[in-house]
């Protein structure tokens, strides 16, 4: 019999029971549910609402239930609608009337809101830790590959040569911003709804400051209606996960391209590749592709919750049952994808010679040749046009800029001298980018130290 059955003469049908149940989703919140109940019980006895004997029985009963759940030995009842009713029903069965007093001054509305917030905080803390490990992998690879030159792209066309380290650090900074978004989501979840009851608070002398402290929340939510109906913090989590997945999808797209025969920039470890059931030669970047594909489900989780929350009147509505699964899925998906990308980047083999050869193709020195003319006194727009004409000449004659003789160059402008050779040298081109944030060796070293410092500072901000 349901714990709320007093008002009803008939029970729900088996199908209705199954349709309305959330246990398959929220069973994973059992530890948070029991934490919340223990804090509530401890506060009740401190306020003289229940006796010391009742509290002792409740504490023993909940501890026993948690041990069973930890071991996977807890047998759920077919009528268990959710984890909250499952725990309370078993507690009452085990310890009797003391268990029935646990729910004094509490509703499932503020109970579930408390559980979800605790779950979100735990999940986000884990995501923050994995985010730092992911960034460490990119920083380590950037260190390992320092000095390797690759083609930089715009529109997926060769643009200018850059250091591979610079390219990898661009992702490290994206993941650094992801850390901040996740930390903001943690802050949004770090508020205590317990004691708000169904929607209006309660007549019992509850001490919400006490449960806030016991549960490790930053503060109690000041409005009971808002406390039981707010899921903004899950939207913040879903959004943070969506942006992070977008960043992972971008690097995975590049991993797919770089590991292809056409690029040949990297070879993925066998541990992060699969073969073909029919083509013996294949080594497929399946895990990069799957991570790229999983972004869709995480964005779907965000959109799903936004649509669920749209037009919900205050306070609690059964619609809110649908808020949990998507957020749990988004957090789990992001967690696993960060682990996968960390592994791929840490173990991939970089082919320096192929990257360097690519950096020398596609007229990547063209901007520096234009800068050379500008430094000789030619207006930049004229220099741009002059070098553009040289590129067209090269294309028609099957040459690269470095292949042109000094006579051919002087045919375009008398400003060209023998020192043009330095403007065509790939290493010199990269090294010349000394501005803050640039792709040159010295600038990247400065950037690397800043990225490492940011990582170490963020590690200290991960909630315990």
Residues serving a catalytic function are 155, 276
| DSSP H helical ranges for 259-322 | 286-309
Tokens, residue 131: 């985010």
Q: Which helix (DSSP H) or strand (DSSP E) does residue 50 occupy? A: none
Tokens, residue 327: 């957020």
Measured CA angle at 95 (ends 107, 102), to 5 deg: 20
Measured CA angle at 299 (ends 293, 303), to 5 deg: 145
Contact 127, 237 (CB under 8 A): no
What span, in angstroms and rounded, lies between the C-alpha atoms of 269 and 130? 21
What span, in angstroms and rounded, lies between the C-alpha atoms of 114 and 109? 9
- Nearest one of 176, 165, 184 to 135, comparing CA atoms: 176
Backbone angles phi, psi at 325, to 5 degrees: -60, -45
What span, in angstroms and rounded, lies between the C-alpha atoms of 440 and 451? 16
End-to-end CA distance of the chain: 40
Question: Would you give the DSSP letter of residue 284?
Answer: B
Residue given tokens 């060796």 in the structure block:
441
Residue given tokens 């380290």 in the structure block:
165
């Amino acid at each position: 019999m349901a714990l709320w059955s007093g008002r009803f003469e008939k029970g729900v049908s088996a199908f209705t029971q199954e349709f309305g149940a959330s246990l398959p989703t929220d069973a994973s919140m059992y530890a948070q549910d029991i934490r919340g109940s223990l804090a509530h019980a401890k506060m009740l006895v401190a306020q003289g609402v229940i006796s010391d004997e009742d509290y002792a029985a409740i504490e023993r009963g909940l501890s026993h239930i948690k041990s069973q759940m930890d071991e996977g030995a807890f047998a759920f009842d077919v009528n268990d609608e959710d984890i909250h009713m499952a725990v309370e029903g078993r507690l009452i069965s085990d310890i009797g009337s003391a268990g029935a007093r646990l729910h004094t001054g509490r509703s499932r509305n503020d109970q579930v809101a408390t559980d979800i917030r605790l779950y979100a905080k735990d999940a986000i803390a884990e995501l923050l830790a994995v985010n730092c490990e992911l960034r460490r992998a990119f920083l380590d690879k950037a260190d390992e590959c320092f000095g390797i030159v690759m083609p930089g792209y715009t529109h997926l066309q060769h643009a200018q040569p850059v250091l591979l380290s610079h390219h990898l650090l661009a992702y490290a900074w994206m993941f650094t911003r992801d850390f901040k978004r996740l930390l903001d989501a943690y802050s949004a979840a770090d508020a205590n709804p317990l004691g708000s009851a169904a929607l209006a608070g309660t007549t019992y002398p509850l001490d919400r400051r006490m449960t806030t402290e016991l549960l490790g929340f930053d503060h109690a939510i000041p409005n009971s209606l808002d406390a039981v109906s707010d899921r903004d913090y899950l939207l913040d989590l879903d959004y943070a996960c969506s942006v992070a997945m977008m960043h992972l999808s971008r690097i995975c797209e590049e991993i797919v391209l770089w590991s292809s025969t056409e690029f040949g920039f990297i070879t993925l470890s066998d541990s992060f590749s699969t073969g073909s059931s029919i083509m013996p030669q294949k080594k497929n970047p399946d895990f990069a592709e799957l991570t790229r594909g999983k972004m869709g489900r995480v964005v779907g989780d965000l959109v799903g919750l936004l649509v669920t929350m749209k037009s919900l009147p205050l306070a609690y509505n059964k619609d809110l049952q649908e808020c949990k699964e998507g957020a749990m899925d988004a957090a789990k998906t992001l967690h696993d994808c960060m682990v996968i990308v960390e592994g791929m980047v840490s173990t991939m083999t970089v082919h320096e010679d192929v990257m360097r050869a690519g950096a020398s193709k596609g007229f990547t020195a063209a901007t520096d040749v234009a800068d050379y003319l500008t430094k000789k006194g030619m207006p930049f727009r004229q220099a741009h046009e002059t070098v553009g004409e040289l590129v067209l000449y090269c294309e028609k004659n099957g040459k690269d800029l470095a292949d042109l003789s000094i006579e051919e160059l002087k045919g375009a402008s008398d400003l060209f001298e023998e020192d043009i050779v330095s403007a065509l040298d790939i290493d010199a081109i990269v090294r010349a980018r000394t501005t803050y944030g640039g792709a040159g060796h010295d600038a990247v070293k400065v950037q690397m130290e800043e990225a490492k410092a940011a990582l170490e500072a963020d590690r200290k901000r991960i909630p315990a």
